[in-house]
C-alpha cells in the first residue's frame, strides 16, 4: 500500500522525467499522475507512473514513466466477454526500456527481475527500445518491462485499458492501487 506522501513524492519525481522528455502536461494531469506499486510495496523496484490522456470504449493513450531500473511486472491482457484483449504499442520517447515477450530467451538479458520475485518472470525474449523505437503487443501476450539506468518515458497507444482485468503472473499483485492516508 502506498501512503499519500509516497504518492506525492513519486509524482514529483515522475515530473522530472516528463520534463526531460519534453512532454507537456496540464496542471490537472500533473496533480493526478497515477502511481502504481502493484500492491508489492516496493515502488522503487516494482512500479509505474502514468498519465492517461484518453481511455474511451475504443481507444486509450498514456504517457508512462519508469524510474531507473523500475519494473512493470509480467502480465497479459486477456479476452473479455468474447472480445479480444487489449492490444498495445509501446513507443520509447526518452531513456531506454527493456521489454520482454514470448520467444527465444535472450542469452544475457539486460534487465533483472526484482529480487525475490524471479519466479514470476517467465518470458525472456528481450526487445530493447530507445527513443523513437516501438513495439506492438497482440492481445493476451505475456510481457514485462524494465527501464535502463536512466529511467524511461514511454507512450502507450492501445485499445481500451481495463486494468482490473489484467492477469499478472505473480499472484500477490493487485493492480488497482490501495492508498492509506
Look-up: residue for cell 482490473? 164
The span from the CA of 19 to the CA of 45, in Å, is 22
| Subset of residues 93 to 132 that bind a second copy, contact rule: CB under 8 A | 93-94, 131-132
Contact between 70 and 147 (Cβ < 8 Å): yes
Asked if 149 touches a second copy (CB under 8 A), the answer is: no
Nearest distance from C-beta of residue 93 to a second copy, angstroms: 7
Residues in the chain: 181
- Dihedrals φ, ψ of 135, to 5°? -150, 135
> Is 21 near a second copy (CB under 8 A)?
yes
Task: Assess 32 for contact with a second copy (CB under 8 A).
Answer: no
Instruction: Tell me the closest approach of the beta carbon of residue 144 to a second copy, in angstroms.
Output: 21
Quick one: 1 or 31, whose CB is closer to a second copy? 31
Nearest distance, CB of residue 159 and a second copy, angstroms: 5
C-alpha angle 115/121/123, rounded to 5°? 145
Least distance from C-beta 153 to a second copy, angstroms? 11
- Quote the distance between the C-alpha of residue 151 and its chain's center: 12
83 binds a second copy (CB under 8 A): no
Residue 165 makes contact with a second copy by CB under 8 A? no
Amino acid at each position: 500500500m502506498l501512503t499519500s506522501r509516497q504518492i506525492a513524492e513519486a509524482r514529483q519525481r515522475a515530473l522530472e522525467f516528463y520534463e526531460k522528455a519534453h512532454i507537456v502536461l496540464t496542471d490537472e494531469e500533473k496533480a493526478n499522475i497515477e502511481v502504481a506499486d502493484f500492491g508489492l510495496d516496493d515502488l522503487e523496484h516494482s512500479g509505474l507512473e502514468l498519465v492517461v490522456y484518453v481511455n474511451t470504449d475504443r481507444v486509450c493513450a498514456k504517457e508512462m514513466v519508469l524510474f531507473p531500473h523500475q519494473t512493470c511486472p509480467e502480465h497479459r491482457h486477456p479476452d473479455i466477454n468474447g472480445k479480444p484483449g487489449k492490444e498495445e504499442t509501446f513507443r520509447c520517447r526518452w531513456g531506454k526500456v527493456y521489454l520482454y515477450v514470448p520467444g527465444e530467451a535472450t542469452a544475457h538479458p539486460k534487465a533483472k527481475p526484482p529480487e525475490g520475485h524471479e519466479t514470476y518472470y517467465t518470458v525472456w525474449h528481450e526487445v530493447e527500445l530507445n527513443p523513437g523505437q516501438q513495439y506492438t503487443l497482440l492481445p493476451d501476450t505475456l510481457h514485462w518491462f524494465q527501464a535502463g539506468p536512466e529511467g524511461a518515458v514511454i507512450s502507450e497507444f492501445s485499445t481500451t485499458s481495463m486494468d482490473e482485468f489484467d492477469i499478472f503472473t505473480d499472484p500477490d499483485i493487485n493492480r488497482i492501487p490501495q492508498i492509506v492516508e
